[in-house]
Structure 1
Amino acid sequence: MKHNIAEVAKLQPDYLGFIFYEKSPRYFDGEEIPQLPEGVKKVGVFVDATIDEILTTFEKYNLDVIQLHGNETKEFVLTLNMYLRLKFWDGYEVWKVFPVDDSFDFSSTRDFVKKVDAFLFDTKGHNHGGNGKTFNWEILKNYKYKTPFILSGGIGLEEIENLKKLLKTNLPIYAIDVNSKFEIEPGMKDVSTLKKFMDVLNHD
């Protein structure tokens, strides 16, 4: 896995995610994260973890971003931010994930506005992410807040053209999260296909 992480990191993504949820087939339990190129930030993905667990993992792996993928409340996020500021001062990001389907109400994100750095909209499914399916992006036109968001959920090469169109809208899209469509097996990425995706997406 270390070699695969290093190969993906060479593509210079803005962020590289590591899942710290034991029930996930992509669970990362390595003693350390390999040295990443400058500018590649480490995202720790947590599902209903305690604040102590998050802080301990954040410090152990020198993470840059905390991605909350469970049922965390606004009170939890406020407390987490308080401890992060006390312990690490600044230089970190907190993202809150929302599972989206055709009936999703974006007003459910309102409590987290100005409490997190970004939202992540993923396809609603049985698993906490990695469901391999996109949601209907038309629903994003109902998003009215200024908090930037990461678009996630089964994104692969076949979504490139629609993705390019979406990126030209006024939506505050912060980043694109890709995962399962580029996997050889859980946690292992097909680097050549991922490179092709990045090259095509960035080509005008």
Structure 2
Amino acid sequence: MVPVTCNISVFEACHKVIDYTPFVTACKFDMCHMHINHIGCTSIQTYADACAETGICIDWRSATKGLCKYKCPSPKVYEACGPLVEPTCDSWYNHKFIYTVNEFSAMTNVKLEGCYCPPGTILLSSNSDECVPSCELCRLPNGKWKKANDTWTEGCEECICKEDTLQVSCRNMSCPTQPPLICDQEGQVKITESVDCCQKEKCGK
């Protein structure tokens, strides 16, 4: 009897293009001799990769009842038929590797399984695993980011992610004007202290 993992009907669309017999034979051998249920996934994955290279991408893992799961590091999610090159926030990278005709252009219709940024987010850059909700953001020195027009307080400065330049602009916090202070009691002197980043005068001894 052919193990369930080795006889997945979802591959029928590829059978006419690539002979599946060698892959099923290898899968059966591995599962029957290694006595490890998930060992057959390797042969099936090899067949799926061969199908994908011809332009036939098949979501086969979902048909294995969890036996051949594909794990992705957070926040990436698994896609059975994702793009060969994942778009990023780097317009230069996208132009060169996605939109420009080159030696890989013939493979633009090839879909591959892998880990991709979840829906509603985009990969920050090709050398980053960070998925961001928008490319309109400012990078901070600590590696974090802020959306365009976001404002925040940092130390004694008020900062904003400027929409037109996507650069962080900071300025000293504005302080309220203090009315003239008169210390006319005997022994009183003016004392200046810092309160919430603002200089404030008070009377003291």
The structure with the larger Rg is: 2
TM-score w.r.t. the length of structure 2 is 0.21
TM-score w.r.t. the length of structure 1 is 0.21
Higher strand share: 2
Relative contact order (C-alpha < 8 Å, sep 6+): which is higher? 1
Higher helix share: 1
